[in-house]
Amino acid sequence: MPVNACVIIPAYQAEATISAVVQACGAEMPGAPVFVIDDGSRDDTAPLARKAGARVVSLPHNMGKGCALRAGFERAYALGFDVAVTVDADAQHPAEQARLLLDHLLDHPGDAGALVLGVRDLERDNAPKKNRISNGISNLFLSGFSGRRLRDTQCGLRRYPISKALSLGGSAPGYAFEAEIILRALAGGVSVVEVPVRVHYPPEHQRVTHFDSVKDPARIVVAVVRTLVDVHLVHRKKTLHVQ
């Protein structure tokens, strides 16, 4: 595991799971400090995370997962960290799978600057049908626009090169950020690597999610289109400048 790595957990109203997630990550990756980005929670997410050993960054109000991730990257970068593995606060991402993404560097040192995506098998891991459909549509959509087959564009279990992630300029405030950053990485020449992971979906009556299966996919589409326009304009300006 790289010594300059950290764990970033964006969290909103996660008091039921945050302690266990922080403790598991701390135990599995003892060399990587855990940052919890409390996205304006009104429950005990922040104090419980702090008690469990996390460094807590509190946003003033609920701003969305994309904003929480960027706040985490900014704090980690300011403190000198180069790599961050992101883990969801709902306990769906086992800590040993997060460790797997960090340890990917040991066998693949050439991927040190890559954006590493965790790739789930949603059917095997008992994901709800609406999640499988939503992810399938997102994968198809982003694969078509990027010109590369992408197998899982919505998994929050990832490894980010922090400096590069910040320089890409992703601006989507919510879940769309994770789709946007893939397109910006590919357009910006950042290597994108996919690593199979296992995740845990609890029984339906125990699941807590803030992902809206109708509104959030629509927001992802909007963010992707905006990103494609933005990337095209930037490329065109660079071409004109060279000429």
Contact between 5 and 35 (Cβ < 8 Å): no
Phi, psi (deg, nearest 5) at residue 58: -105, 125
Position 110 confidence tier, pLDDT thresholds 50, 70, 90? confident
d(CA 120, CA 130): 15
Mean pLDDT (the chain) is 87
Position 220 confidence tier, pLDDT thresholds 50, 70, 90? low
H helix runs in the chain, sequence order: 18-28, 45-51, 65-78, 95-107, 129-146, 162-167, 176-187, 215-242
The confidence score (pLDDT) of residue 138 equals 85
The lowest-confidence range among 42-46, 73-77, 84-88, 102-106 is 102-106
What are the tens digits of pLDDT across the range 27-36? 999 999 999 9
Mean pLDDT of 101-115: 88
Position 217 confidence tier, pLDDT thresholds 50, 70, 90? low
The confidence score (pLDDT) of residue 231 equals 60
d(CA 185, CA 161): 11
Distances in Å between the alpha carbon of 87 and those of 38, 92, 95, 164?
13, 9, 8, 19
Query: Who wins on pLDDT, 203 or 20?
Result: 20
Q: Which helix (H) or strand (E) holds 8?
A: strand 5-11
The lowest-confidence range among 64-68, 104-108, 190-194 is 104-108
The confidence score (pLDDT) of residue 19 equals 98
What are the tens digits of pLDDT across the range 114-156? 999 999 999 999 888 888 888 888 898 889 888 899 999 999 9
Return the bridge partners of 37, or none: 10, 57
d(CA 213, CA 211): 6
Position 227 confidence tier, pLDDT thresholds 50, 70, 90? low
Mean pLDDT of 66-77: 98
Sorted by where each starts, the structural domains of the chain and their CATH numbers stand as 5-242 (3.90.550.10)
What are the tens digits of pLDDT across the range 40-62? 999 999 999 999 999 999 999 99
Query: Who wins on pLDDT, 183 or 227?
Result: 183
Residue recorded with tokens 């029984």: 203
d(CA 19, CA 16): 8
Distances in Å between the alpha carbon of 175 and those of 44, 66, 82, 154, 170?
23, 6, 23, 8, 12
The confidence score (pLDDT) of residue 203 equals 66
> Over 90: is that where the pLDDT of 93 sits?
yes
